[in-house]
Structure 1
Amino acid sequence: MIFSLLLLLAVLKCVAGFRVLFLAGEGKSPYGATSPCPEPEWHDVASQLAARLRVFDERIDARVSTNLRVSEPYDVVVALGVDDVVLETRPTCLLADPAVSSVEAFAGDYAPGSRPFLPWSPIARGKRVVEQAATLLARASTEDSCYAVLLALHALVGPIPVVAADINPSWDKGFRNILEFAKMIRCCGPEIFRALTDPPTKKAVDLLNSLDLRDQVGSYRVIVSTETEELEAFSLCILQQNNCFNADAEILTRPAVPALAEWRGRPLDDEASRDILVGHFPELTWSWKIVCGANPAYDAFPMQHQIFYPARQGLWYDPVFCVETIDGTRVWTKRHYRCVKRGMGLWTLTTLDNGVVSKEHWTIVDCEDDLSWAVLYYSGAAKAAGQSYQGALLCSRDGKWPDGAHVGTSTYDRIRDAFGRCGLELFELYGHGPPIEGRRDASFMWNDDFLQWAADNPPPLDPIGDISIMAWKRAQRRLLKTTSL
């Protein structure tokens, strides 16, 4: 009877939703350091976080307050740029970035000074939530800050589907760890053995195990740093072929971003949609260079070249970008997507990325008639890895902020409004912005240091063509082995 009552209460809680409060301090924040609008006010950051949380889960009721006295019940309270909080009603969880706030965070049964003797205890679980949230909030990105709240809600209050898939062994999963490990051994024993006996791959697996793979920034950096054949086979077997962790990530459908309706004075048609993506190719060896983007796991990598070109059906898309690996070296990384039209200005892109299939819905949001710039939006999922993600890109011919798009101009307003339709503010972008008085006009994406490295190490911009990414990678590895002999 008691168990049934507790279960009913849990169900009602999920139906009723989750309550989140952002306490916004005064002054400027460290968010948007390389964006077109650096150092937004804390209140603006809090308001955008509240809006974006509803994108990830519409049951979340997120509010913003500058009154630091909390008198109503909340599941999670987040202190942003705040040094003191008065709690008349104790929330389930209080989070804060220790670098910008002296507020002491707590979660569930854990409070500063608590000593969890057992790693599976509620105190230990709360301690993990606080530590993970501190890491994510310290990155000063809205994406990471949203995930800090989502993970806290999921761990302490109720299921949040977008972060429900956990492919790491953890104390929170309990007996499920044994079942998952048994399935991995049964289905993928040879692949596991080869991965763990190859030193670079084992290093990558160990690093991934030390991360929460729902932390997309940290995990993606490890993955692109170690693109071995063994890691690819390991991921392909465990995640894609056998789904050992029962992950089922879906493409997020919010916000509903409208596609560009008219281009060059005419309604957008198939030919125009293709022309916009193909952009400056083949006049140049790339279609577009990314000026700035909104996703810290993908768009923040420097010197990103986008290459769209015709396929037998639809288009191919080969992004080429620079990655600073986990050992501090720089390498060029390349991907290969198949692009299929799903509507006017709407495309579906798919790829096999290190053994995991990713599917993305792209939208042409806006584009200048002379192709001097374009704004593209994407929402994707690596279903078997349990990851859903979104982003938007400002692209130009040379990777520089568009000429004439200064603050106060109609072009600047048009670019800002295009990102607004994607549910994004300009301070959420990474990479570059227009010249601002008092700030050196320097692009993170294309700074002098990166450009010098690129001059010494030219990017691999040749289109991959009508072959699979697996076939291309095999050819690259054979070439590497031949040249190393």
Structure 2
Amino acid sequence: MARRLTFVDQGYQLEVYTDSKLLDPETQAVFRERAATADIVYVEGVHSAEALGILAQATEKAPTFVAFDCAPALHALGRLGGLASVNPGPWQQLQARLSWTAAARAQELTRSIQTLWDRHSSDDLVSLLLVLVDAFVVKVPRLDSLRASGPLALARMITKCGPQIFACVNDPECKAALDCLQSCSPTDQVCSYRCIVSHESQLLEDFSLCILQKHNCLGKSADIPSLPDPPPMASHRGQPLTHDLAEALFIGWLGKEEWSWRVVAGQNAAYDQFPCQYQIFYRGKAKRSMWYDPVFQVRTVDGQVVWRRRHYRVRRAEVPGTFHFSVLDNGVISKEFWRIVDVPDDLSWALFAYSGAASAAGQVYTGAVLCTPDGAWPAPSQENRINIALRASGIEPWELFRVDNGCCQGMPLGVPEKDATSNPAEQSLMASCELLFAPTTSSRGGTSGLSAEPRS
């Protein structure tokens, strides 16, 4: 977690201590020194009476103290920005001591960080820590782009996109999507994307396309994160990796199967947890064009099971094994930078890492997917190599979510007959992305396809 915070900003420093280490005199002395000047103390899972006493005394000057799943005495120390909880407990409402505006903000903050902690993912823990830093230490630019917009933004929306707004709020499904999004904290990408995939409709796409993508009524912007930046694999089967060979690795098992790869596990809490994820990479009709269609199952907020499919343009980046992806997802363009981190000679698994941004929505993200031909976990003999690839991507193995591949029927697979985008608006928007993502180098040679060796 300390390393992942530095991916957001090199100036963020997190020091980690276990309760047992606090009992060591030398470590305890260092902890007391650090705690005396700490802006935030975050405590999780501490029940030791001895550690509790040390924490209570050493952190008394920290203005923000947050405890989860700890002894009640530690929860009683909870405070946000120097303001103690009204009563003992992990999170008590602070309205009694605050103005109405400040009370509403405190309530939203506590709800947000409680939700993030409840999901128990590494992504959510990083988000929780960033929310605390943003609220009580220094503004976090990554979160600043997600803040609520003012009345001028509303005026722009009505002026530029009145018909789309009217159509959406008068349609039950589109209105349900807006209500669902409104219930999410602005910084909660997991909640927001689940609302979007649960309530997809043409009206919602038209609404987002007009307000966010075409007119940027909310004034959002975001750039693809530069860290982590794992290197792509340098060679495969003893040959230097070329652009053609890298594309063939993406295409993988397509032909022998109806898909290129199936996702076994992923790291991003918002995008990699969906059940039954199929990856379909295929070449287009135009020279050197390539497409990527992920197909995945969604269990909607109201309990239904539906299938979703996306359509990405894929362009070569400068270094073989790196690619620029772009997609129009429910009216908003996302741009992503992918790396092929590792694929063994027999194509028994693959690790792809990515980082991306939906600029018009002000959102950035990173992640990785571990894939196999059949959705089964790789052989135990591959564990060490996979862990090395994960750590090279800034990911610990325990951060992965196991994908549920147990009930995958009726998936909309197949390679489209046309490799064009599906509607004129999308064609126009994606053409601009294609110009931005034009490859800077050309590489010929290598293979146009890749046959798989038998798997052990």
With structure 2 as the length reference, what TM-score do the two structures score? 0.82
Map 1:136-175 onto structure 2 (within 5 A).
136-166=116-146, 168=148
**What do the CA deviations read for 1:6-40 (whole angstroms, capped 9, x no partner)?**
xxxxxxxxxxxxxxxxxxxxxxxxxxxxxxxxxxx
Partner of 1:207: 180
Q: Which residue of 2 aligns with 1:8?
A: none
The verdict on how the C-alpha distance between 1:167 and 1:183 changes in structure 2, with shifts beyond 3 A counting, is: farther
Asked if 1:108 corresponds to 2:73, the answer is no
Distance 1:60 1:209 in 2: 30
Deviations 1:321-370 (A, max 9, x none): 00000110100110000000002000000000001000000000000111
The answer to whether the 8 Å contact 1:377/1:392 transfers is yes
Q: How far, CA to CA, are the matches of 2:324 and 2:165 in structure 1? A: 32
Change in Cα spacing, 1:275 to 1:161, as seen in structure 2 (3 Å) is same
State the number of aligned residues: 393
Letter in 1 for 2:306: V
Amino acid at match of 1:77: V
Give the alignment partner of residue 421 of structure 2, picking from 445, 458, 468.
468
Within a 5 Å distance, the mapping from 1:113-262 to structure 2 comes to 113=86, 114-116=94-96, 118-121=99-102, 123-166=103-146, 168=148, 177-262=150-235
**Within the alignment, does 1:327 sit opposite 2:302 as a pair?**
yes
Percentage of pairs with the same residue: 38
2:454 paired residue number: none
Q: Which of 459-468 and 138-147 deviates more?
A: 459-468
* 2:7 matched residue in structure 1: 55
* CA 1:469–1:58: 2 relative to 1, 3 Å: farther
- Aligned-pair CA distance for 1:296: 1.0
- Give distance in 1, aligned partners of 2:188 and 2:70: 21
- Asked whether the 8 Å contact 1:96–1:134 carries over to 2, the reply is no
CA distance in 1 between counterparts of 2:139 and 2:223 reads: 15
> Does the residue aligned with 1:283 lie in a helix, a strand or coil?
coil
Q: Is the 8 A contact 2:268 2:366 kept in 1?
A: yes
2:400 to 415, 423, 429: 429
Structure 1 pair 183/101, CA: closer, same or farther in 2 (3 Å)? farther
Aligned with 2:45 (options 81, 102, 115): 81
Deviation of 1:473 (Å): 10
Q: In structure 1, what is the Cα distance between the partners aligned to 2:353 and 2:42?
A: 29
Q: What is the DSSP-based 3-state SS (H/G/I as helix, E as strand, rest coil) of the residue aligned with 1:392?
A: strand
Which residue in the other structure is 1:171 paired with? none
Q: Residue deviations 1:84-142, cap 9 Å, x none?
A: 43154432322233x45643332125432232554422x54334323211110121111
**What corresponds to 2:333 in structure 1?**
357
Q: 1:243: how far off? A: 1.4
How far the C-alpha of 1:76 sits from its partner, in A, is 1.9
Question: Counterpart amino acid of 1:106?
Answer: R
Q: Does 1:379 align with 2:355?
A: yes
What CA distance in whole angstroms lies between the structure 1 residues aligned with 2:61 and 2:423?
A: 53
Query: Which shows bigger deviation, 413-422 or 88-97?
Result: 88-97
1 CA distance for matches of 2:423 and 2:44?
A: 45
Equivalent in 298, 318, 321 of residue 345 of structure 1: 321
Distance between the aligned counterparts of 1:256 and 1:429, measured in 2?
18
8 Å Cα contact 2:328/2:426 also seen in 1: no
Deviation per CA, 1:401-455: give whole Å up to 9, x if none: 123xx2xx4x211100000001001100011xxxxxxxxxxxx4212xx24xx2x
What is the match of residue 387 of structure 2? 416
> In structure 1, how many angstroms separate the alpha carbons of the residues matched to 2:59 and 2:346?
58
What SS class does the counterpart of residue 340 from structure 1 fall into? strand
For residues 162 and 147 of structure 2, the distance between their equivalents in structure 1, rounded to whole angstroms, comes to 17
SS in 1 for 2:274: coil
1:366 and 1:239 map into 2 onto residues whose CA distance is 36
Q: Which amino acid aligns with 2:46?
A: V
2:41–2:59 CA contact under 8 A, matched in 1: no
1:302 pairs with one of 267, 275, 278: 275
Amino acid at match of 2:396: E
Answer yes or no: is the 8 Å Cα contact 1:110–1:124 preserved in 2. no
Deviations 1:232-261 (A, max 9, x none): 111111111111222111111112210100
* Distance in structure 2 (CA, Å) of the matches to 1:110 and 1:206: 32
Distance in 1 between residues matched to 2:109 and 2:260, nearest whole Å? 43
Could you say what the CA RMSD is over the residues aligned between the two structures, in angstroms? 2.1
- Which residue in the other structure is 2:243 paired with? 270
What is the alpha-carbon distance in structure 1 between the residues aligned to residue 139 and residue 425 of structure 2? Answer: 40
Q: Deviations over 1:153-200 (max 9, x none)?
A: 1123222111111254xxxxxxx5212212211221111111111111
**1:155, 1:180 → 2: CA distance?**
23
Q: Which runs of 5+ in 2 are unaligned?
A: 23-27, 87-93, 428-456
More deviation, 302-311/66-75: 66-75
**Structure 1: 5+ residue stretches without partners:** 1-48, 169-175, 432-443, 475-485
The 8 Å contact of residues 336 and 469 in structure 1, kept in 2 or not, is answered as no
In the alignment, the residues of structure 1 paired with residue 261 and residue 81 of structure 2 have an alpha-carbon distance, to the nearest angstrom, of 48
Q: 1:187 to 1:135 in 2, by over 3 A?
A: same
| Residue 9 (structure 1) aligns with | none
The answer to whether the 8 A contact 2:232-2:339 is kept is yes
Shift of 1:289: 0.2
Change (3 A) 1:379 1:473: closer
C-alpha change, 1:88 and 1:361, in structure 2 (3 Å) is closer
